[in-house]
Structure 1
Amino acid sequence: MMKVRKLVLLTLAFSLIFGSVAYAADSATQKLRLWINKKSESSGVVAVDNKTYISTDIVSDKLQAIVIKDDNKVVIYKPNVNMLTSKNDGSIFGDVPQGKKVKFNTFIQVDSLKVDISALKLTIADPYGDETLVETRKSGDDDFPDGKDNYWITMKDISYIFDSAGLYTLRFWMKPAGESSFQVVAEKTITSK
């Protein structure tokens, strides 16, 4: 009987000790709400021991940075990318009438690119999120900026019907050398009204 009582007391003591440790660890972690350009992000940010941790997916997606992860490090590259849309007559635009078909190209200026890339692409998404590929270029193509940290490119002409009112989003993507997926590094919106 004495052994059973000691076993119960010992089990109760360990439960209290480890339960307190788990509670203390949980209370040291606090979920935070992140705001980027006045939009709230619901997850991916925590504070632990007064240090804030942000998900690399948020850094990549919302801040349009290239994030490369391996077993023991995370490297972030943020190239400076500017995009300009122009019609065939050379006029620069950012607004189009709803329902109008526009033939245009996108001029892209990139500098401060500190990582080698193996491919790039340009897409356009309608106000409902349906995305259309405009053009893809890969390393080895004649018009690919291999090994350059500063370059200017004009993407091919596209004829596109802006059939719905709202914001259309041009997205410029890069694929870092050795990686399997593209990451968005710049966006430009075109308004259809």
Structure 2
Amino acid sequence: MKAKKLLVLVALLSIWGGTMIFADSASSKIKVIVNGSELDEAGVMTDGKTYLPLRQISNSLQALISWDEASKKVTINKPNVHMFLFQNNTVFGKVSKGSRYTFSVWAQVDSLRMNISALKVTIADPSGREELIQSQDVNAQKDNFWFRTKDIRYAFEAGGSYTVRFYMKPDGDEWKVVSEKLIIAE
């Protein structure tokens, strides 16, 4: 009796193990690297097709992503956002450590092919502490426009890289970074 149970158990484990090996060979995880950085989530290759984590990829590319449940459609849009930092009429990107500067951020946006409800501009110091420069709701939908922040007076207390970020908020979604500009304090 024990021999029969053992034989049945060995047969079941063999079938189950073979199925698991087959399933593992039919689908495999793959590393996804975007602009030199590996994503937290892996992609999956199944039957010669690759499935990738779109939200993480769009975040890495600073693109906007939206999901339309009715049509089961994903849309990814990478608007062109060019930022310029002005102190009076002078463009800058390098400052003296320990100094205060009054400046504004200008952004030229084009190729925006999805509706957004708001935009904002922030600055992050070298330690990562982020401060809001300006936030604004958007009513009219345009595929291209200029945006200028009010003047901001900011102290560049530490040496290092300060990151100016331009965010957009797609309708019904969360804030997404679509462009960054560095200011170097030496």
TM-score by length of 2: 0.87
Question: Does the CA contact (< 8 Å) of 2:124 and 2:131 recur in 1?
Answer: yes
In the alignment, does 2:169 pair up with 1:172? no
The residue matched to 1:69 in structure 2 has which SS?
strand
Taking the TM superposition and a 5 Å limit, the aligned residue runs for 1:136-175 are: 136-140=135-139, 146-175=140-169
- Deviates most, 26-35 or 117-126: 26-35
**Residue 175 of structure 2 is aligned to residue 182 of structure 1:** yes
In the aligned structure 2, how far is the partner of 1:6 from the partner of 1:111?
A: 73
SS at match of 1:169: strand
User: Conserved in 2, the CA contact under 8 Å of 1:108 and 1:154?
Assistant: yes
Equivalent residue, structure 1, for 2:55:
57
Are the aligned partners of 1:121 and 1:174 in contact in 2 as well (CA < 8 Å)? Answer: yes
TM-fit CA distance, 1:24: 2.9
**Post-superposition offset of 1:115:** 0.2
Give matches, 1:15-164, under 5 Å.
15-27=13-25, 28-32=27-31, 34-36=33-35, 39-41=36-38, 43-49=40-46, 50-69=48-67, 72-88=72-88, 90-140=89-139, 146-164=140-158
Aligned residues: 182
Output the amino acid matched with 1:45.
A
SS at match of 2:90: coil
Do the aligned residues in 1 keep the contact of 2:79 with 2:178 (CA within 8 Å)?
Answer: yes
Give the Cα separation in 1 of the matches to 2:153 and 2:28. 51
| C-alpha distance in structure 2 between counterparts of 1:53 and 1:169, whole Å | 32
Asked if 1 retains the 8 angstrom alpha-carbon contact of 2:124 and 2:164, the reply is yes
C-alpha distance in structure 1 between counterparts of 2:39 and 2:148, whole Å? 37
For the Cα contact (< 8 Å) 1:96–1:190, is it kept in 2?
yes
Tell me how far 1:42 sits from its aligned partner. 5.2
Shift in alpha-carbon separation, 1:73–1:126, aligned structure 2, 3 A: same
> Does the C-alpha gap of structure 1 residues 26 and 118 become closer, same or farther in structure 2, counting only changes over 3 Å?
same
RMSD: 2.0
Q: 1 CA distance for matches of 2:110 and 2:34?
A: 27
CA contact (8 A) 1:60 1:183 kept: no
- 1:33-55 CA deviation, whole Å, 9 max, x = no partner? 5151xx43253233414444332
The aligned amino acid for 1:136 is S
Work out the CA distance in 2 between the residues paired with 1:160 and 1:178.
32
What is the CA-CA distance between 1:30 and the residue it aligns to? 3.2
Q: Percent identity?
A: 41
Q: TM-score, normalised by structure 1?
A: 0.84
1:19 positional shift: 1.8
SS at match of 2:10: helix
Q: Distance in 1 between matches of 2:160 and 2:133?
A: 19
Alignment gaps of 5+ in structure 2? none
Q: Distance in 2 between matches of 1:12 and 1:74?
A: 47
Give the letter for the 2:141 counterpart. G
* 1:186–1:97 distance in 2 versus 1, CA, 3 Å: same
The answer as to whether partners of 2:34 and 2:60 remain within 8 angstroms in 1 is no
